[in-house]
Amino acid sequence: MSTQSFVDEAEKASVETGLYRAVWRWHFYAGLLCLPFMILLAITGGLYLFQNELNHIIYKPIMVVTEQSTAPLAASNLIARAQMAVNGSVVRYVPAATPTDAVEIGINDADKITRSVYVNPYSGDVLGAIGDKDKLMWIVRKLHSLKYFGTAPERIIEIVGGWAIILVITGFYLWWPRKQTGGIVTVRGEPKKRVFWRDLHAVTGAFAGLFIFFLAFTGMPWSGYWGNNFNNFVNNQGLGYPPEFWDEVPKSTVPMKDAMTDTPWTLSNQPMPVSYNHGAAPIGIDKAIAIFNERGISKGYTIDLPNSADGVYSASAFGGTAAQERVIHLDQYTGKPLFDGDFASIGIGAKGIEWGISVHMGREFGLFNKLIMAAACIGIVLMSVAAIVMWWKRRPAGSLGAPRYPSDLRINRGILMIAVIIGILYPLVGASLVVMLIIDKLLPRALHARLG
C-alpha cells in the first residue's frame, strides 16, 4: 500500500470514528432528555390503549348492566332521573353502545364540576356518578400529554416527540452491524455485565425503533403548538374538509375542540355552527337522537347538548376506526343538519393523519392493533431501563459520561445541518436543539477552565 493510500485510509477511519462518536454523543443527549418522558408515555399510552376494557373492569358496578328484552327508556326520561341524583345542567349524553352498557349523562353541577352520571337504560336506576377529572383514564390521558400540569409542560412533550425521532435515527446508525458478533439480534453476557445491558438496549431498540418513530410522528399532530399550526396549514391548503361544507352555514368563533367532548383532529380548529331561533321550541334530545340514528352514525357516539340559545346538538363518533369517524351538528330548533362530515369527505392529507392517529391509539385493527402497540410500549420501557443501567455502569465517577466531542469540523457541520432540518420541521424542537448545541459547545470549555 502506498503512503498516500495509507493516509487516505487513516483519514477515512478517523472520519468514520469521529462520525460514530458525534452520533453517539447526540444519541446520548437525546436519551438524557427523552428517556424519563418516554417511560411515562409508554406506561400511560399502554394503559390508554385498553381504556374501554379497563373502564368496564374498574367501574363495572356503574358502567355495566344486564341486557333485558324490554326497550330502553327515552333519553329525556333518563336525563330527568339523572338530574334527580345530581342537580345541574346537562352538557353531554352518551347512548349505550351495546345492550350491556349504561347510559352516561354529563351534568355540570352547582360547583361547576362536570360529573358523569350512569343510568340503567332499561329501568332508569341511577347506578352512580363520578367527576370527569376523577376518572382514571382522564388522568392517564392528561398525564400522557402532560396537560395535567398545564400548557408549559405540554410543550415539553412536543419537544420530547421531536427528540425521540432523533433518538431513533441515531440509534439505528449506532446499532447497524459493524462486524461485531453480538448485540444485533442476540444479547451477550449476563445482567451483572455492562455488555448485557448494552445489547439489551440495542436489540430492543432495533425492534421497537420503527414503532417509536411511528408513535412520535403520529403523536405530533395532537401537540399544542406544532399540531395546532399544522392543523391550520392542512385545512388552509384544502387538505381537510372541502370549503363547501361551510357554505351557507352560520358559524361561531368557538372551535369545536373547545365545545365538544371529542372531535377528530381535522375538525379540532374548525368553528362550531350556530342555531337560529325561528320562534319554535327546541326539538329536544329524543328527536335529536332519532335524527342522528336515521343518518347512520356509528354506535358509541357522544352527544354534546346546546349550552346557549344559539347552541347546537353535536354528535361525534370518535372511538372506532378512522373510517367510522363522523361529526354531525343539528340546529336545536329545526333539527336541520348544519354539518355532517365523515372520513370519506376529507382530503388525502387529513386522511393520512387521521388514520395514523387511529393506529397510534390502537383503534384501527381491533385487538391486534392494541397488542402490537402494547408490545411497543413494553419495548420502550425495557429499552429505556436498559439504557439507564448501561449508563450507570459505564459513567466515570463525578462525570456525566457523555461521549467525547469530535474534533473534525466537517462532522460537526453535518450534525448541525441535520439539526437545522429538524428545527425547520418542528420549531420547538429546533429551539431546544440550538440550546443543546450551545451547551454542548460551552460545557467542555467550562469544565476545562474549572479543571485547568
362: left (phi over 0), alpha (psi -120 to 50) or beta: left
How many CB atoms within 10 Å of residue 405?
14
Contact between 18 and 407 (Cβ < 8 Å): yes
* Residue 403 or residue 319, greater confidence: 319
Identify the pLDDT of residue 333.
Answer: 95
Strand partners of residue 292: none
Q: Give tens-digit pLDDT for 239-252.
A: 888 877 777 788 89
Sheet of 337-342, strand order: 126-131, 114-119, 103-109, 88-94, 302-304, 312-317, 326-331, 337-342
Domain-wise residue ranges, the chain: 15-22+144-222+379-451, 241-346
pLDDT at 416 over 70: no
Span 78-89, average pLDDT: 96
φ and ψ at residue 445, rounded to 5 degrees: -65, -40
Q: For the CA atoms of the chain, what is the radius of gyration?
A: 27
Q: Which residues contact 200 (CB under 8 A, 6 or more apart)?
A: 187, 382, 383, 386
Nearest to 362 by CA among 371, 375, 353, 352: 371
pLDDT tier at 5, thresholds 50, 70, 90: very low
Nearest to 217 by CA among 167, 276, 154, 143: 167
Span 256-271, average pLDDT: 91
Span 4-18, average pLDDT: 45
pLDDT at 312 over 70: yes
Q: Is the alpha carbon torsion for 223, 225, 228, 232 positive or negative? A: negative
pLDDT at 3 over 70: no
φ and ψ at residue 66, rounded to 5 degrees: -90, 130
Chain-wide mean pLDDT for the chain? 85
CA distance 4 to 35: 45
Contact between 54 and 137 (Cβ < 8 Å): yes
pLDDT at 412 over 70: no
pLDDT tier at 7, thresholds 50, 70, 90: very low
* Residue 207 or residue 80, greater confidence: 80
Q: What percent of the chain has pLDDT over 70?
A: 87
Bridge-based pairing of strands 312-317 and 114-119 is unpaired
Identify the pLDDT of residue 410.
Answer: 54
Contacts 24+ apart (CB under 8 A), 46-49: 46/373, 46/374, 46/377, 46/378, 47/137, 47/140, 48/137, 48/140, 48/141, 48/144, 48/361, 49/361, 49/362, 49/370, 49/373, 49/374, 49/377
Lowest-pLDDT range, 46-60, 179-193, 429-443? 429-443
Strand partners of residue 64: 101
Identify the pLDDT of residue 403.
Answer: 67
Which range in 154-158, 227-231, 309-313, 433-437 is most confidently predicted, on average pLDDT? 309-313
pLDDT tier at 293, thresholds 50, 70, 90: very high
φ and ψ at residue 399, rounded to 5 degrees: -135, 155
Identify the pLDDT of residue 18.
Answer: 65
Q: Which residues contact 5 (CB under 8 A, 6 or more apart)?
A: none
Q: Which residues contact 135 (CB under 8 A, 6 or more apart)?
A: 55, 116
Identify the pLDDT of residue 206.
Answer: 87
Q: Give tens-digit pLDDT for 98-111.
A: 999 999 999 999 88
Burial 159-188 (b: 16+ CB within 10 A, else e): bbbbbbbbbbbbbbeebeeeeeeebeeebe
CA distance 40 to 238: 36
- DSSP conformational letter for 396: P
Q: Give tens-digit pLDDT for 344-375.
A: 999 888 999 999 999 999 999 999 999 999 99
CA distance 67 to 276: 40
Identify the pLDDT of residue 84.
Answer: 95
pLDDT at 401 over 60: yes
pLDDT at 303 over 90: yes
- DSSP conformational letter for 304: E
Q: Give CA angle at 380 (378, 383), nearest 5°.
A: 110
pLDDT tier at 129, thresholds 50, 70, 90: very high
CA distance 297 to 317: 7
Q: Between 3-49 and 409-425, two packed helices, what is the crossing angle to 10 degrees?
A: 30
Burial class (CB in 10 A: 0-12, 13-18, 19+), 220: buried
